[in-house]
Amino acid sequence: MMTKFTKFFISLALIGLSAGVNAQSAIMSGSFQFTNNSNIMNKHAGTIILQSSMQRFELPISDNIIIANLLPGLYTLDIAFQSGGRGGHTTRHSQTVEIESERRTICRMSANAMLSFSKEYDRNSMPILANNFHGRNDRHDFDHRRDEPKVVVVQPPMPQPVSDFDFNKLYNAVRNETFSDTKMSVLKTSGSFYQFFSSEQVKQLALLFTFDNDKLECVKYLAPKVLDVQNLPYIQEIFTFKSTKEDYLKFLNRM
């Protein structure tokens, strides 16, 4: 039987752990900068397209373009321009670019139209760039002077957990397996296609397993995909043994 003091201590621990997870997940954006050092092309003779599964930007090439507040992840970068005026040769670059949280990915076009990439810490620049907000349209038109950098700041779309329809498909696929190892294999194979979950969805999937060790493996795999991170500590209630609960809380503390 727990005393009132013990219950109070556990409540404080959960609140503190939840706050730590939140603080660690608070910064969830990066930025992309294109710097044109080429002298063989007209500044507006081409386009840059940067897109992921959730965001897309199509911009005219200029000396300096910054796209900020991007969701972290893999983006496709397509650059196309004509040299020699109308009817001239068309040059295209296509490359996968990783946008990282709190980092600016810089793409530089050299004098001979070759691309190079670098990254720099970018956390402090985000509030400054936010003063130049231009909206979230797919195409962006600018009225800046030619000598000013073109800055696009976007508010990332709010991520949503997997839909009820898709979750039910995943849930039933895992439930229909007999053995824990095949359940886990289906979960990790099929679950990898879904970007986000709610803590309640994770609990439901974990409860499809009988033993604590399997439940813990399930939750550890899905925890990085959970949106309502403040509720992660409360998933411990699905575990039977105190030792498993402690292992889970230690895992959260390392996230």
Task: Render 169-215 in DSSP notation, one character per residue.
Answer: HHHHHHHT-SSHHHHHHHHHHHHTT---B-HHHHHHHHTTSSSHHHH
Specify the pairing of strand 64-70 against strand 150-153.
parallel
Q: Which residues of the chain have pLDDT under 50?
A: 1-27, 43-44, 124-147
* Residues 146 and 221 occupy one common structural domain: no
Nearest to 2 by CA among 70, 10, 55, 141: 10
Tell me, yes or no, whether 21 and 35 share the same domain: no
Residues 102 and 195 in one domain: no
Instruction: Give the model's pLDDT for residue 176.
Output: 96
Q: Please provide the size of the chain in residues.
A: 255
Residue 2 has a pLDDT of 43
pLDDT at 131: 35
Choose one of 119, 153, 187: the last residue of a domain.
153
Residue 49 lies in a domain: yes
pLDDT of residue 72: 83
**Is residue 6 situated within a structural domain?**
no
> What is the extent of the structural domain holding 37?
30-153
**Residues 218, 184 contacting (CB under 8 angstroms):** yes
The answer to whether residue 139 is domain-embedded is: yes
The candidate with the shortest Cα–Cα distance to 140, out of 125, 131, 150, 130, is 150
What is the predicted pLDDT for the residue at 247? 94
Return the pLDDT at 38: 66
81 with 124, same domain: the answer is yes
What is the C-alpha to C-alpha distance for residues 113 and 37, in angstroms, rounded to an integer? 8
Q: Which of 108, 124, 153 is the last residue of a domain?
A: 153
pLDDT at residue number 113: 77
Residue 118 lies in a domain: yes
Same domain for 143 and 166, yes or no, is no
Does residue 1 form part of some domain?
no
Give the E-state strand segments of 100-162 in sequence order: 103-109, 115-121, 150-153
Number of domains making up the chain? 2
Q: Would 9 be classed as within a structural domain? A: no
